[in-house]
């Protein structure tokens, strides 16, 4: 079967668009479902303020929705991109873009649901701090969205950068790998960031006076939870911008694809783990504010250890790119 360049590029664009929206729909739907579920619990606990809870639920769900809206934008762009005169390599870039955005929206969508749900529960428990809870929910879920935004940036770069003067082999593998690296690594960071944000909304409702310490711990914890996604972004950038010499060998291509897969998968676990550590710390800073400093320290030590496997994955990726 011989497929000419134009057919192949269209095939890749349509497949990429389907993957972007199909995978991209998973996370936001789960996250919003969680928010709505907790909102129902909240209304049953305190039906008099159901209006406030309902409003907060919709705001929280709107933020969680944004991850899948990014996926929708990328999917529509892939469907209607002008592909006249495109070379085979463009097909690999478009497939990478679709996978990157689809995978990258999963974690952020689920994660953003946690602060939304906990803020609804918190409002039913402490209606007096409703404004603070909504503000904290918005800050927390906005940070959760960053891994999805990284994925969108990489997807847009893969779609609109000009790779036409690069050799097809092994650059195709570098471009697919670039998409997988950021897309997969974003899953863990998005989910982990959401765990920290959820715990902070719960904590503020329990101890409204701890709001300053809780928000600080949440932001520090979320920042550390973002690092695996940033490693993924770094590997993607290297794979997109480094010029690889032409090589017909299969091993040269597989080394680059493997580099993307390694960093992508390797970022998932540490992202979730860092989020769990941050969740534990935030929850107990709210309950025991006097020891906030100690809790922050232990959180950072625990996160640093949890981070180590992401660093191993990055080292193996960089060896695959630069040494072999």
Say what the alpha-carbon torsion angle 29, 35, 37, 40 is, to the nearest 10 degrees: -140
**Min dist. Cβ of residue 118 to other proteins (A):** 16
The nearest distance, CB 190 to other proteins, in angstroms, is 14
Give 188 or 194: the residue with its C-beta nearer to other proteins: 188
Residues in contact with 213: Cβ distance below 8 Å, sequence separation at least 6, in sequence order: 285, 286, 289, 292
Whichever of 1 and 290 has its CB closer to other proteins, that residue is: 290
CB of 20 to other proteins, least distance (A): 22
Quick check: helix, strand or coil at residue 131?
Answer: helix
**Residue pair 179/133 in contact by the 8 Å Cβ criterion:** no
> Looking at beta carbons only, is 33 or 269 nearer to other proteins?
269
Whether residue 170 is preceded by a cis peptide bond, meaning omega within 30 degrees of 0, is: yes
Contact footprint for other proteins (CB under 8 A):
169, 188, 192, 228, 248-251, 253-255, 257-277, 279-281, 283-285, 287-288, 290-291, 294-295, 298-299, 301-303, 305-310, 312-313, 316-317, 319-320, 324
Alpha-carbon distance 176 to 240, whole Å? 10
User: What secondary structure, in 3-state letters, does 23-59 show?
Assistant: HHHHHHHHHHHHHHHHHHHHHHHCHHHHHHHHHHHHH
Q: Which is nearer to other proteins, 17 or 194 (CB)?
A: 194
Cβ distance to other proteins smaller for residue 77 or 299: 299
Helices (H) and strands (E) in the chain, counts: 8, 0
Q: Which is nearer to other proteins, 76 or 249 (CB)?
A: 249
Contact criterion met (CB below 8 Å) for 270 and 187: no
DSSP assignments along 41-109, one per residue:
HHHHH-GGGHHHHHHHHHHHHHHHHHHHHHHHHHHHHHHH---TT--HHHHHHHHHHHHHHHHHHHHHH
Question: What is the smallest separation between the CB atom of 298 and other proteins, expressed in angstroms?
Answer: 6
Which is nearest to 175 in space by CA: 229, 99, 246? 99
Q: Are 186 and 229 in contact (CB under 8 A)?
A: yes
Smaller CB separation from other proteins, 17 or 302: 302
């Amino acid at each position: 079967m011989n497929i000419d360049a134009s057919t192949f590029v269209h095939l890749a664009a349509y497949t990429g668009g389907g993957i972007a929206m199909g995978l991209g729909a998973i996370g936001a739907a789960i996250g919003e479902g969680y928010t709505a579920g907790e909102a129902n619990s909240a209304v049953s606990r305190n039906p008099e303020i159901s209006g406030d809870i309902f409003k907060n639920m919709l705001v929280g769900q709107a933020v969680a929705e944004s991850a899948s809206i990014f996926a929708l934008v990328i999917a529509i762009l892939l469907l209607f991109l002008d592909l006249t005169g495109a070379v085979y390599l463009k097909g690999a870039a478009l497939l990478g873009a679709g996978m990157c955005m689809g995978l990258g929206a999963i974690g952020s969508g689920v994660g953003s649901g946690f602060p939304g749900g906990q803020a609804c529960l918190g409002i039913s428990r402490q209606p007096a701090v409703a404004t603070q809870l909504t503000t904290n929910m918005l800050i927390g879920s906005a940070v959760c969205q960053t891994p999805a935004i990284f994925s969108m940036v990489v997807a847009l770069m893969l779609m609109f950068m000009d790779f036409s003067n690069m050799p097809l082999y092994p650059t195709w593998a570098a471009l697919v790998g670039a998409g997988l690296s950021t897309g997969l690594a974003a899953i863990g960071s998005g989910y982990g960031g959401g765990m920290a944000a959820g715990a902070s909304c719960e904590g503020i409702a329990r101890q409204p006076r701890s709001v300053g310490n809780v928000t600080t711990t949440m932001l520090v914890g979320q920042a550390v939870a973002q690092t695996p996604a940033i490693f993924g972004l770094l590997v993607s950038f290297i794979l997109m911008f480094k010029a690889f010499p032409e090589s017909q060998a299969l091993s040269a291509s597989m080394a680059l694809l493997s580099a993307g897969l390694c960093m992508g998968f390797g970022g998932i676990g540490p992202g979730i783990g860092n989020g769990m550590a941050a969740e534990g710390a935030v929850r107990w800073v709210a309950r025991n504010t006097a020891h906030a400093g100690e809790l922050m320290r232990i959180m950072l030590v625990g996160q640093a250890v949890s981070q180590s496997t992401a660093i191993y994955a990055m080292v193996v990726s960089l060896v695959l790119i630069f040494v072999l």
